[in-house]
Amino acid sequence: MIAEIRKILNVFPIDPGFKFIRDDSPNAFAVAESDVPNTRGTVYIGMNLINDEFTQDQFGGVAVAGICAHECGHIFQYDNGYMQSLHGPTAQWIELHADYLAGFYLGRDGSHSRDHVEIFANSLFRKGDFDFNNERHHGTPDQRVAAMREGYGAGQAGTDVRTAAESGASFVRAL
């Protein structure tokens, strides 16, 4: 998992801290505040969430990679103005854009095949969202999977991250 996070940080120009938390209900989230010295933003990853993904599927690791990339996507959004520009009546665009960025990472990284990435798609579909404590609407399961697959394609095509993030923003707005 640490290796996966290192790879994510090679794709996204971000420098967050990471903390593992004891989550009563499976959860992961990202904040702009730095909880770890000399980092920018913080990603919190719940042990229950990770455990759930690994027990759900023998290749659950790809879903864990996707979840980490989704949360790192939120850090990229904090750093690049997307938290403001994608802010709408609900968190839907922000969440779908993070799904797009997660797909982008998986496509760019190249070590996760399209079939394999469907495990992450199933995980997204099952949950609807990773921000379980948030009662706002975050997009339908179909929208989440569509955003992730679109990002995956951009990653595979070798699009640079900033160009892809812009395309992703247009894509999720039109979903």
Residue number, 86 or 164, with CB nearest to Zn ion: 86
* Between 29 and 152, CB nearer to Zn ion: 29
Q: Which one, 4 or 95, has the nearer CB to Zn ion?
A: 95
Site string for Zn ion, 66-95 (x = CB under 5 A): -----------------------------x
Number of chain residues interacting with Zn ion (CB under 5 A): 4
**Cα(91)–Cα(139) distance, integer angstroms:** 8
Q: Rounded to an integer, what distance in angstroms lies between the CA atom of residue 55 and that of residue 78? A: 32
Q: Which is nearer to Zn ion, 108 or 144 (CB)?
A: 144
129-152 burial by CB neighbour count: b if 16+ within 10 A, else e?
bbbbeeeeebbeeebbbbbbbbbb
CA angle 166, 104, 100 (to 5 degrees): 60
| In the complex, least distance from residue 100 CB atom to Zn ion, rounded to whole angstroms | 12
Query: What is the distance in angstroms between the CA of the first residue and the CA of the last residue of the chain?
Result: 31
Closest CB 95 distance from Zn ion, rounded Å: 5
Residues 111-170 within binding reach of Zn ion (CB under 5 A): 130-131
Residues engaged in binding Zn ion (CB under 5 A):
95, 98, 130-131
